[in-house]
Amino acid sequence: MFPNTIVFIDAGHGGLNRAGEYTTAPSKMFRHARGAFHQGSNFYEGVWNRVVTNQVMRKLDRFGITYLPLHHDYLDNSLQHRVDMANWYGTKFARSLVVSTHANASVPHTARGFEIYTSPGTTESDKVASIHWNNVNLLRNFYPKGTQITMRTTPSGSQHDNEANFFILRKTNMPAILIEHLFFDNFEDATLLMDDNVVDLFAEAQVRTIIEYFNA
């Protein structure tokens, strides 16, 4: 659909390996006091991130849009490796974009909402972030009844992904956004994240943002 363009799809952290073991640090998971998530009451952020990016890639396939996942199916690839991939392949295409998928967490597990991060300063990435928030908002009416998807306009105070933010956003040579899709350690947000409809809408918003950005 867009010749000479590539979008780098990034699912943060690692997933479940073949033995059913979570490959990422305990800070990227949360054991809820109730509910059923990935393994019993455990919510694994890296697993959820991959559910979204798989859906994004399925949709991109339908448009014949060239993409490359920066993440492994389940290993927790280093941020340096992910950045190196984006920067190497990025030089082979006229235009490229990084979209990194995460979900947030913070103590004491009461924070909720949606955040989009870009590298500091005014860059092309800010334009992508604006397009994306608009697309998330456009789909608001299609979320399950009663769903609140709020944009957090101030930093959450969470240290959860700050390191990832700065690295994947600052070290890549192309526009890049990192999306924190709600808070997986908050029961209400985590319940929303397990809703296939919500996941599909988050994926749909990413695909619309990619198309809109490359179309501009």
CA 82 to chain centre: 14
Identify which range of 1-9, 59-67, 101-109, 192-200 contacts Zn ion by CB under 5 A: 101-109
* Overall residue count recorded for the chain in this entry: 216
Identify which range of 29-37, 56-64, 94-102, 144-152 contacts Zn ion by CB under 5 A: 94-102
Measured from the CB atom, is 161 or 185 closer to Zn ion?
Answer: 161
User: Can you tell me which of 10, 161, 185, 204 binds Zn ion, judged by CB under 5 A?
Assistant: 161
Number of residues that bind Zn ion (CB under 5 A): 3
Please, how many CA atoms are within 13 Å of residue 20, restricted to the half-sphere of its CB? 4
Measured from the CB atom, is 6 or 79 closer to Zn ion?
Answer: 79
Identify which range of 112-120, 153-161, 167-175, 191-199 contacts Zn ion by CB under 5 A: 153-161
User: Can you tell me which of 50, 102, 132, 208 binds Zn ion, judged by CB under 5 A?
Assistant: 102
Between CA 66 and CA 4 the distance in angstroms is 9
Measured from the CB atom, is 13 or 32 closer to Zn ion?
Answer: 13
Site membership for Zn ion, residue 189 (CB under 5 A): no
Q: Which of 94, 100, 65 is nearest to 82 (CA)?
A: 100
Q: What are the Cα distances from residue 92, in Å, to 47, 63, 146, 178? A: 30, 20, 45, 23
Between CA 30 and CA 108 the distance in angstroms is 12
Between CA 134 and CA 128 the distance in angstroms is 10
Between CA 159 and CA 164 the distance in angstroms is 10
CB atoms inside a 10 Å sphere around CB 110: 11
- Contact letters for Zn ion, residues 3-42 (x by CB under 5 A): ---------x------------------------------
Identify which range of 34-42, 59-67, 146-154, 158-166 contacts Zn ion by CB under 5 A: 158-166
Binding site for Zn ion (CB under 5 A): 12, 102, 161
